[in-house]
Structure 1
Amino acid sequence: MNQHFLKLRQHFKADMMARYAVDEQLFDAASRAIEPLAVPFAVRRGELLQRVGQTAREVFWLTGGVSRVGYVSEGGNEVTMRFATEGHIANAYEDLLEYRGEQPSRSFIVAETSVQGYRFDWEQMSQLRSRDPALMAYMVRLLEFAVGCQARRFITHTASSAEERLLNFREEYSQLERRISQKVLASYLQITPAYLSQLMRREQMQEAA
């Protein structure tokens, strides 16, 4: 039995139960179900967990560090879709949903800091959840959370100013700003690094006034 994995699941238990709206019994049952599939991994800053064009075959659950999911626009610019920190899944959920069709992933996953965690074979997990009602229920809650996050991000990014998007980022990713570069933050806000610097200077001037 992978006791270290189960211990880390307990460490993040309260946050994950609240995030996915699951009770303790369901969380513990799902943790025990996936424990045999958990394989530890560690990567350095800048290393890719997933490349654009490869089939998404693994799920990455982080226990340390920051990862970023993004894609490359037609103009060749990186666009950041979301971040993952300790206790979160790093993957782009749409890539996992397209696994059955062997479709190439549209997104990349890169380590913004050194990253540690556990990887799971997505095909094995899919087979397991078809046999395990508790794991199926847990995964449904997880995907419901993911869909909600994507919907909120779409609304905030299409119906708000850059200032409002920055505020929303700080609310959704508390304490993350100091762990990532301004270039990466700008790509998430869908503005240029130069404009982000202007926003930061404007904030500093307002605080000093």
Structure 2
Amino acid sequence: MAIEIFLNYIQEKTSLTAEELQQVTSVCQLKKLRKRQYLLQEGDVWKYNAFIAKGCVRTYTLDEKGNEHIVNFAIENWWTGDRESLTTGEPSIFNIDALENSEVVLITKTAFDKLCADIPAFNAMVNAILQKSFIVSQGRIHTFISLTAEQKYLRFLEQYPQLSIRVPQGMIASYLGITPETLSRIRNQTARKK
């Protein structure tokens, strides 16, 4: 099922031959995660490109006081992982765990690089995804340093309405860089304005 979801995703993004799709399928590994199970733990080297076929995961760090700082979420048809660890081979500073029972398609870096080298359409798709990811990251940085807490929350709701339903409010607050109390106050004010 998860592999089929991944192949459908690819076919929506680009056009591959049956032989090329088989080449992709041959290197896919399926990983099922229970809620709260780790996909990556801080200190481990990240070795995969990971596609979320089902479920929701989060990427986060812990500071010296044990506070979580959520960098991102990933749901169906999104990618996740630690690109720096994947590229450098250095241990990750991040944890990735499942917020729901999840199914992830994993492809090792070596196999993924070979797919990109062997299948030009796959490589073009990956480059388009990376460009979009970079633009989203720039937007997130801009939002984080430029907007008020209320503006950050409203933009989050606008950009990711499905996440606001699936992710606990405390985690949304962490992602936005605000306290849960501030988020609660903003939500109450927003509800009163409607």
Q: TM-score range by the shorter chain?
A: 0.7 to 0.9
* Separation (CA, whole Å) in 1 of partners of 2:165 and 2:121: 37
Unaligned residue ranges in structure 1 (runs of 5+): 18-23
Query: Aligned partners of 1:113 and 1:5: how far apart in 2?
Result: 15
Equivalent-residue separation in structure 1 for 2:17 and 2:36 (angstroms): 32
User: What is the alpha-carbon root mean square deviation over aligned residues?
Assistant: 2.4
Q: Which amino acid aligns with 1:205?
A: R
How far did residue 89 of structure 1 move? 0.9
| CA displacement, residues 5-38 of structure 1 (integer Å, 9 cap, x when unaligned) | 5632354468x63xxxxxx326988755421111
Contact persistence 2:2–2:54 (CA under 8 A): no
**TM-score, normalising length: structure 2:** 0.87
What are the Cα deviations for residues 38-84 of structure 1, in whole angstroms up to 9, with x where unaligned? 11221111111001111111222111111111222355421111111
Q: 1:5/1:67 Cα in 2 relative to 1: closer, same or farther (>3 Å)?
A: closer
Aligned to 2:174: 187
Q: Give the TM-score of the pair, scaled to structure 1.
A: 0.82
Answer yes or no: is the 8 Å Cα contact 2:46–2:82 preserved in 1. Answer: no
Match of 1:20 in 2: none
Distance 1:206 1:79, change over 3 A: same
Instruction: Give me the whole-angstrom Cα distance separating, in 2, the residues matched to 1:64 and 1:112.
Output: 11
- Find out whether 1:69 has 2:54 as its counterpart: no
- Cα distance in 1 between the residues matched to 2:177 and 2:17: 36
Q: Which residue is 1:8 aligned to?
A: 5
In structure 1, the residue matched to 2:138 is 151
Q: How far has the Cα of 1:131 moved from its partner?
A: 3.5
Letter in 2 for 1:9: F
Q: Which residue of 1 aligns with 2:33?
A: 43
Matches within 5 A, 1:1-209: 4=1, 7-9=4-6, 11-12=8-9, 17=13, 24-25=14-15, 31-98=21-88, 102-207=89-194
Equivalent residue of 1:106, what SS? coil
Distance 2:36 2:95 in 1: 12
Secondary structure at the residue paired with 2:107?
Answer: strand
Percent of aligned positions that are identical: 23
**Whole-angstrom CA distance in 2 between matches of 1:6 and 1:197:** 39
Per-residue CA distance 1:141-196 (angstroms, 9 max, x = gap): 22111111111100011100111111121122122111111111110010111111
Which residues of structure 2 form unaligned runs of 5+?
Answer: none
